[in-house]
Each structure stands twice: as C-alpha cells, then as structure tokens.
Chain A
Amino acid sequence: MSTEPVTDDERKQNRYHFDRHTPEYREQFTQVTAEMLDKCPVAWSDTYGGHWVAAGHSEVFELARSADYLSNDHDPANERRGYKGISIPSPEVAFRGGFLEMDPPEQRYYRQLLNPYLSPAAVARWAPLVDEIVRASLNEKIETGRIDFVDDLANIVPAVLTLGMLGIPLEHWDIYVEPIHASVYTPPNSPDMPRLQASRLAMRDDMMGQLSSIRASGRPGLIHALATAEINGTVPPDFELLGIISLLIGGGFDTTTALTAHALEWLSEHPDQRERLSAERDTLLNPATEEFLRYFTPAPGDGRTISADCELAGQQFKEGERIWLSWAMSNRDPEVFPNPNEVDLARTGNRHHSFGLGIHRCIGSNVARMVFKRMVTAVLDRMPDYVCDPAGAEHYQTIGIIQGMKHLPATFTPGPRIGDGLNETIARMQVLVDQERLADPVTVRKGAADAT
C-alpha cells in the first residue's frame, strides 16, 4: 500500500457535517445513515473541533478491532498523551470513565477481574431474582389496566439487578435510578439541572459509602472485587474505582431500559408480530432480541483517539485525531443487513455492533440480554393486549449518547396480582442475595464445587 505523504485536504476529502447531538439527527437518522453509508462510510466532520465518523459496517468492524491504533484512553490530568476518551465532545468536568476509557494492559486487568461476575454462567444465577422483580413490578399496575413501561418496569428491574450484582442493598435502587436516567436526557441549560445535581450528589455519596462499607464488611459483588483489587501490583485510588462503579451503573441502567421500551413500543405497533413472538418464543426470542438490539442500538457509538499515524479501512489517519465509531449507523448497512430499516424478528446473520466490538465489547451484554428477555416475556404473558399511547410516549430528544425513552404509557385489560408487591419482593430478594451469596463471582462457586 502506498503511503505517499498527502495533505490534510486530500485526506479529508470525504466530508460530512455530522452532529449527532441535535434533534435533527434523530429525526433524520435513516436518511443521514443511508447517505453516509452510500457516499462516505468514513468521513471527516467539522463539528466539535473536527473528528472522523465511521458509519460503514466493514469500516467500523476494522477500526473497532484495531486497538493498537485506536485508543480509548481518557487522560484529563495529561499524565500520558492527554487523550479525551470515548465522548465527543469531551465533557467539561472530565474524569476517566472506568476501563472503557483505558487501553490494555490496564483495561485487561479490570476486565479479567470483573468478567467472572458478568459471564453467562454468572448471570444465569440471577434469573430467578429478575423474574421476581419483574413479577412484582407488574403487580403494582396489573389491576389498574395502566402502566408506564419505562417508569414502572424498565427503569426498575435493570437498576435493582445492577445494584445486586455490585453488592449495594437492593432497596437503594431509587437513589440511583433518577440521576442516572435524567443525566442522559437533561440538557445542561435545563431548569431541572439543580434538582438533578442534588440527586447526583446523593448518589455519589451513597456510592462512596458503599465502597468503604464493602471494603470493611467483605460483602460480595463487583464492588468487593474492585475494593480489594491490586491492578498490576498497585492498589488503585478510590476515584478510579468510583469511575468504574459509575461505568457499571451507567452501562447497566439506561441502555437496557432503552432497548426494552423501544421493543415494547414496536410490538404494540405490530400486534401480529407480537402474537408471533409470544407463540414462537422458544425459537424466536433469541433472534428477535438481536434484531431489537440491531435496530434500536441503545448505545449508538463510541469515540476513540488515533494513537499512531495509520491507514485503516481505506483512510489515512494522523495521531491525535478523534473518531466516532457509529454502532447505530453500521447496524443499518445494507451490505450486511438486507432491508436494514425493517425489523425482521427472525433475521439471520445478524452481526450487529450494538455491544461494540473487539476488546471493549460491552461487559454487561449477558446481563442486558437476560433482563430484556425476561421483562418482555412477562409483559407478553400478563398484558398480552397492551396498547401504547403514542401521545404519552416520550423519546429522548437527541440520540447522541443513548437512544432512549423517558415515558411509554400503555393500557391493557386488567389482570390479577400474583404474589406480593415490589417493596416486599425487594426485601425478600435481599435475603436471597445475602443467603445464597448470589453476587460472588463464578470462580468462587467453582472453587467450592471443585473442593467437594
């Protein structure tokens, strides 16, 4: 391959004004995506100080898996090269967002530490608890014939489960749920900002309290792993650990909520497909889940920094340049997905990018799939004729960070409660978590099983 020196203008001849933080991008997503895929699968955009945007499936595939040339590092103190992590633009108050803003080998140490809490085998142990929280959440609304699928179900279950896996008391879920969701959809100039800031501080206080209490008590869970970790021979400072806990909470809450809300809304609009999914769930639930992930891509992309001059995906890059890898747009590439703008519940060959690719593959992907499937099937069973109210459905105005929903009200034929309500169930589940030590890593279980 020739590496003749070229001017910046030559390198950046594929240009596209790309601003994913505007409401217009959400409204015109299908057209923008088709245009970029067709004309410039990798383009230079002048927005946010200038950055590359990768939209094509094969281009994103190659770039995301080139960790030697694309860095996730976020270095606000300028101790290394001052890179700006995965957000474009970089947030004003900068702190490192856990191992998603690290490069190997440091990133790998954390992944190896936490994988045994989040692997398919580890996650399977939580399924009975998830079913109980789902059942109880639906109980709270089942007799009324009205529910908001975001507020009353999809916000609650991922939050309770995530706290359980972290080792935080389940009943604290409401300290966390509001600030996490509202942080994503509240614009900086909103009049609601002071209230949001107060709830964020309360969450941060609780998080710091949990870190020190778990360090003392040894209560199992992801936080225990972090609180007692040595990373390459050194004990990480608490602010680094809080960044990781925030990453796990941020990743665990809003994304699964977003996926579930969008899928339930789509199924309401396509009642024949809803009946089909319910009837054929044994074979259809897995591919349908992947298809909802592809089509709605809750986390639409990640930023990176080019860490060395290189040519990748047919494009020359210079060290220090920023690049946005769009999972959402690459998921609509007709080269890989026939009829990409249609939902096909039985789609095959669904190599979507919704959990990212390469070494930074979403560490919670197994959790997300499990919770999503159990929430959706419970709704299909207990509220099979639900109808969402389009007038009350509220999507996030912008999809730059998460393609989510604030509200999704629906009506349905009322049914009977089954068992106890949410607060009683959460209290019972806390006992289960503690007695069964559900939040231990699989490695502990395995060790115990091997020893007997």
Chain B
Amino acid sequence: MKVQVDPERCQGHTLCSMIAPALFTLNDEDGHSTAVDGEVPADLEAKAAEAIRSCPEQAIAVIP
C-alpha cells in the first residue's frame, strides 16, 4: 500500500504525523503534510489506516 496527501485539502492539522511520524513529513513553514514516497512498510499499515481515518480534512488516500 502507498498513501498520498491531497495538498488542496490538507490544512496542517498534523494528526497524521502525530500518529505515523515515519509516513508523513510536515512542511517547516506551514505544517502541511506530505506522504513519504514508496510502499508503506507492512508493520505501519495499521498506523497509515489510522492516520487516514483521523484526518479532519479527509485529505489522505491510499493509492494503488
């Protein structure tokens, strides 16, 4: 599984990086999130799912 953050929807709530700091990087200037490249490691898939579920803007999606 891979995840991505929609930059148009993200408003910098930062919950994703609180839940899965290894999967999301926050921009220094505005705190908006970007997903790390590549496959989500199997042991972090549950955390990725929780980040998706917790995003107040519903800005995170799984990509094929």
Known: A120-B31, A442-B28. A365 touches B14 (CB 8 A): yes
Report how far A122 CA is from B27 CA in the complex, Å.
Answer: 11
Q: Is B61's CB within 8 Å of the partner chain A?
A: no
Q: 8 Å CB contacts to B: which residues of A323-356?
A: 348-353, 355
Known: A349-B54, A351-B54, A358-B11. A116 touches B29 (CB 8 A): yes
A358 touches B57 (CB 8 A): yes
Complex partner residue of A349 from B26, B28, B50, CB under 8 angstroms: B50
Report how far A121 CA is from B26 CA in the complex, Å.
Answer: 8
B15 to chain A, nearest CB (A): 7
Complex partner residue of B30 from A119, A348, A349, A358, CB under 8 angstroms: A119
A68 to chain B, nearest CB (A): 13
- Contact string, B8-25, partner A, CB cutoff 8 A, digits 1/0? 000111110111000000
Closest to B12 in A: A361
Q: 8 Å CB contacts to B: which residues of A244-296?
A: 286, 290
Residues of chain B within 8 A of A355, CB atoms compared: 13, 56
Complex partner residue of B53 from A112, A351, A353, CB under 8 angstroms: A351
What is the interface size of chain A, counting residues whose CB is below 8 A from a CB of the partner?
27
Q: Is A443's CB within 8 Å of the partner chain B?
A: yes
Residues of chain A within 8 A of B40, CB atoms compared: none
Known: A119-B26, A348-B50, A349-B53. A286 touches B31 (CB 8 A): no
Residues of chain A within 8 A of B14, CB atoms compared: 120, 365-366
Q: 8 Å CB contacts to A: which residues of B44-64?
A: 50, 53-58
Residues of chain B within 8 A of A121, CB atoms compared: 26, 28-29, 31
What is B's interface to A at a CB cutoff of 8 Å?
A: 11-15, 17-19, 26-31, 50, 53-58
10 new A-B contacts, CB < 8 A, other than A349-B53, A351-B56, A353-B56, are A119-B27, A119-B28, A119-B29, A121-B26, A121-B31, A290-B15, A348-B54, A350-B15, A361-B13, A366-B31
Ordered by A's residue number, 30 sampled pairs between the chains whose C-beta atoms are within 8 Å are A112-B30, A115-B12, A116-B28, A116-B29, A116-B30, A119-B26, A119-B27, A119-B28, A119-B29, A119-B30, A120-B17, A120-B26, A120-B31, A121-B26, A121-B28, A121-B29, A348-B54, A349-B53, A350-B15, A351-B53, A351-B56, A351-B58, A352-B56, A353-B56, A355-B13, A357-B56, A358-B11, A361-B11, A365-B13, A442-B28
